[in-house]
A and B are shown apart, each in its own frame.
Chain A
Amino acid sequence: MIAERVSAWRIAWMMAGFVVWSAAFVALYSVLSVGCAFGWDEILVMGSLSLQRVVLVALLLVSLGTGWVVVRVSAIHREAAGGAGLTLKPFVESVAWLAAWAALGSTLFSLGPVLFLTSCY
């Protein structure tokens, strides 16, 4: 009658994907501000690529990579819990998995402009 206990940390894990999104958002916005303040957009490091662009794109890739890891780990937990079942464990793990996918998409959509927009104007 009473569900099998799931660690309270799994509640936090339900937010993991969006925590990565938040960290990525803060990191890119902060690095953009620092770069613009110190003229990184005028320092060329890889042919015609500015230091600013390289750092921002690298951060985006790290963010997407981390987000993908959260998706994969969530998927493994979800499968181990029995897929999309209605009991506690599958519920918690599938919410975490769906939220991780949503967060990964959000990262790409909201931070993707570092790939093509001018950075400091």
Chain B
Amino acid sequence: MSEQRRSNAIRLHRELHDIWKTGPGLQRLAAVNHNIIGKRFMVAAFVFFAIGGILSMLIRAQLATPNTAFVGPEIYNQIFTMHGTVMMFLFAIPMFEGMAIYFLPKLLGARDLAFPRLTALGFYCYIFGGSILIVAMLMGVAPDSGWFMYTPLSSSTYAPGINADVWLLGITFVEISAIAAAVEITVTILKMRAPGMSLNRMPIMGWYLLITAGMMLVGFPPLILGSILLELERAFDLPFFDPTRGGDSLLWQHLFWLFGHPEVYIIFLPAAGAISTIIPVFARKELMGYRAIVVAIIAVAFLSFGLWVHHMFTVGIPHLALAFFSAASALVAIPTAVQIFAWLATLAHGRPRMDVPMLYVFGFLFVFVLGGLTGVMLAMVPFNWQVHDSYFVVAHLHYVLVGGFIFPMLAAAYYWLPHVTGRLTMHRISVPAFWLIFVGFNMTFFMMHMTGLRGMPRRVHTYPAGVGWDWLNLLSSIGGFILTMGFALIVIDIVLQFRFGKPYRRNPWGARTLEWAQTTPPPAYNFASLPLVDRRADMLEPHEIGNELAAGKGYLGFTRHGWMETLGVDMTSGRPDQTIILPQTTYLPLWTALAIGAFVLCLLFKIYWWSLVPLGVTLVLCLCWTHATGLDHDHGDLEIGHGIAVPTHYEAEGAPSWWAMVFTLVCNGTLFASLIFAVFFLWLVAPGWPPTELVETGLLPPALAAITLLGAALTARMAVTANAQGGGASMLLLASAGAHVLATGLIAYLIATALPDPTSHAYAATAFFTLAYVAVHSALGLVFALFGVWRIAQGRVSARRSLDLRIGKLWHDYTALTGIFGIALVLIMPLIVSASGGGQ
């Protein structure tokens, strides 16, 4: 690099650093940068992993020998419940989120994620929700009904303390974080790739993360709905799951596993993305079957939603329905196998070289394939019935989850740690650590196949001597401790790498993806200028690109107005279509998460009226977030380099926040669809139907409510049109707000006067919940409408800068659509129930 070029690069670095930096000391709590939040996510997830690991050691200590009195059944129930809960909700998902948050912008050639403040909010929600669970465990009131929380075991009759509430509220809190991350990842991948990075040039990890995030948007809402319904049952006696009052405990199982099985693939797919990224680097050959892998990921994503009943094969479902789910369960092995064959083909066509990440890749292939094979066995109904609820299932799920997530994550950790630390691994400890983990894992869990086949049931706190389980359990326990030693070595290894690892300049593995075009550890702004991608983004030359970008030769190789700028592109072609102005450091995510946390704690301690205070504070804080967004005048098209000019995202058609609202509503719509499923499921399947009392609304009030909801949406649409034509939007938005007030009032009136007592029967409870759902959305519609008026008054809206109004329009449309459907459902159900009774 010439002297002039070097000094330009340093000047640009300093200017960008001043804009993107996070301050020292307490200002770290205001961090929103993805580098910082991503690392925090991963460290926190690893801490939770350690807690889950300690719990597993307690389990193995208890089961090492028969008739052990180490812990009693009550504590044992808490231990295995918390082990599963921590590993699934507090480790696996957040670890993948942390990885995505840290690496995604780097892989895509962006400076940050689409919504940095949302990233920070997600992190704090995760930490606070997880802390509630851990503190409860330390206080001896941890959840104890299993990580799946089956009713009626988790209902207030059989779990009267706050243990189950801790799970329901804590996990829902954590899931806010997961949904936030899913929206963020989806929008970032679709809208914030480097210029030129069309869909066919995206690094394969981008595809994996995009589809995983989409699965989260559709997969998590059933569980969120289930958790809300169960908490309502426990807190207010609404009998959604109580078979004596028209509810059904199977409804919980359906809602839980509608989430639970896709969850397995939500965990696996990002890990497979890491494998697909690492293997080509060490095989020194580009990934084979890129297109086939993309098809396979799509297939896995969809098929994984058709498997959930294989967790319920023994509950008494007709054989034909079992056949649907059995076939789909076996079928999902095919797209999974396509990926495995693509990896093997890449290795076979390349010149593989061994290093620590590859050890874990081979460990993954061995363990995961075994887990997949036992998965196909379990997909077969007769075999499933034989081993149901036995240790065989425990063995299978650990082979799949540890094989499909932990081994790939360890490969990813060794592969990408140099990027985080700027230093290389000390091989002397890494290799023995792998072998301890590999041997320890197989010793622990392979034995469980046999204890399961010999009839040992899951979740027992002890077992009698002399039934053939003794030595297998002892070996499992010994293996468990060997496994733990391996993880302990890894911790030491990572600490040593941070402290004594050998520094390197750039791209130590010879990788060909964009993250290695950065200096390491990476600066807060990622790239001094943004690259133009002219080929598949896992076949680049990072060293050459890195120098060019550092010298400011790419796009946005300058600073402007102190803005944190990155580029938005067309979803398919990667053509730049907007410059995105990101928000800077702020404490608002922290305060908002604290307010949500206070709300959750009020619910947990059953001080329901007090919970309205933090709820109101949360709403106010969310409005405060908008203070830093928007522009007070039109900027027109702005230069981004290379002779291209694009508008700011406030003036562009498909801004990230508009898409975020679209995906949030998809998520919300899935929750609503799950509610509809619950209503019809109870009518068809639950005992105790038909109910003795039905909703009697008359036609007028519900018709008026539906018409006002429609009116609110139409006036909001007219406001957007009027704004585009140059004025008059405020009055129309005020009319929309008035319509929302009227609609909310009418629905509240219906709830108060037309519904039977919601605690009398599940029918009344679901009608209550459906109307409440509509009322809450309409009330938020009022907020959106008034917010639009406020923004216009502030001068933040113009004919070009209409983003706030267009986002509001989406909400009003959704509210009208689901509101009319919900009201119609409440009106129609009495007719259906009267005509048919309940199905049995």
Contacts and interface: CB of A to CB of B under 8 A. Distances in A.
B345 interface: no
A94 B291 contact: yes
B572 A22 contact: no
B298 A18 contact: yes
A2 interface: yes
Contacts of B299: 18, 99, 102-103, 106
A119 B199 contact: no
B8 interface: no
A64 interface: no
B291 A95 contact: yes
B562 interface: no
Contact of B292 (A32, A34, A92, A98): A98
Given A1-B532, A1-B534, A29-B321, A109 B292 contact: no
A75 interface: no
Interface in A64-121: 86-88, 91-92, 94-95, 98-99, 102-103, 106, 109-114, 117-121
A58 interface: no
Nearest to A10: B572
A48 interface: no
Contact of A2 (B324, B573, B840): B573
Contact of A36 (B200, B302, B318, B328): B318
Contacts of A49: none
Interface hub of B298, B305, B335, B836 (most chain A Cβ within 10 A) = B298
Interface in B548-607: 570-575
A95 to B, nearest CB: 5
Given A14-B298, A119-B320, A22 B305 contact: yes
B219 to A, nearest CB: 13
A102 B327 contact: no
Contact of B199 (A7, A88, A110, A120): A88
B258 to A, nearest CB: 11
B574 A2 contact: yes
B331 A2 contact: no
Given A3-B573, A98-B295, A91 B200 contact: yes
A32 B318 contact: yes
A77 B449 CA distance: 49
B200 A25 contact: no
Given A32-B318, A34-B839, A22 B292 contact: no
Contacts of A99: 295, 298-299
B291 A91 contact: yes
Contact of B575 (A5, A7, A15, A36): A5
Nearest to B838: A37
A117 B320 CA distance: 6
B195 to A, nearest CB: 7
A95 B294 contact: yes
Contacts of B573: 2-6, 88
B578 to A, nearest CB: 14
Chain B interface helix/strand/loop/mixed: helix
B199 A91 contact: yes
Given A15-B298, A25-B328, A98 B534 contact: no
B198 interface: yes
Interface residues of A, number: 50
A98 to B, nearest CB: 4
A8 B572 contact: yes
B572 A7 contact: yes
Chain A interface helix/strand/loop/mixed: helix
A38 B318 contact: no
A88 B572 contact: yes
Nearest to A111: B324
Interface in B299-323: 299, 301-303, 305-306, 318-321, 323
A103 B306 CA distance: 12
A121 B317 CA distance: 8
B431 interface: no
A3 B574 CA distance: 7
B450 interface: no
B827 to A, nearest CB: 20
Contact of A118 (B294, B301, B320, B331): B320
Interface string B414-432: 0000000000000000000
Contacts of B371: none
A106 B199 contact: no
A96 B681 CA distance: 34
Given A11-B571, A37-B839, A22 B306 contact: yes
Given A1-B534, A32-B318, A113 B327 contact: yes
B105 to A, nearest CB: 20
B621 interface: no
Interface in A48-64: 56
B305 A117 contact: no
Contacts of A95: 291, 294-295, 298
A8 B532 CA distance: 21
B524 to A, nearest CB: 28
B684 interface: yes
B200 A102 contact: no
B302 A15 contact: yes
B534 to A, nearest CB: 5
Given A99-B298, A102-B335, A33 B195 contact: no
A34 B680 CA distance: 9
A22 B302 contact: yes
Nearest to A18: B302
Contact of A92 (B302, B572, B681): B572
A60 to B, nearest CB: 11
Contacts of B754: none
The 6 closest A-B pairs by CB, nearest first: A37-B839, A91-B200, A113-B323, A18-B302, A3-B198, A110-B327
Interface of B: 190, 195-196, 198-201, 291-292, 294-295, 298-299, 301-303, 305-306, 318-321, 323-324, 327-328, 331, 335, 532, 534, 570-575, 680-681, 684-685, 836, 839-840
14 contacts: A1-B534, A2-B532, A2-B573, A3-B573, A6-B572, A22-B302, A30-B680, A34-B684, A36-B318, A36-B839, A95-B298, A102-B335, A113-B323, A118-B320
Given A3-B573, A18-B299, 4 more contacts: A2-B574, A8-B572, A37-B684, A106-B328
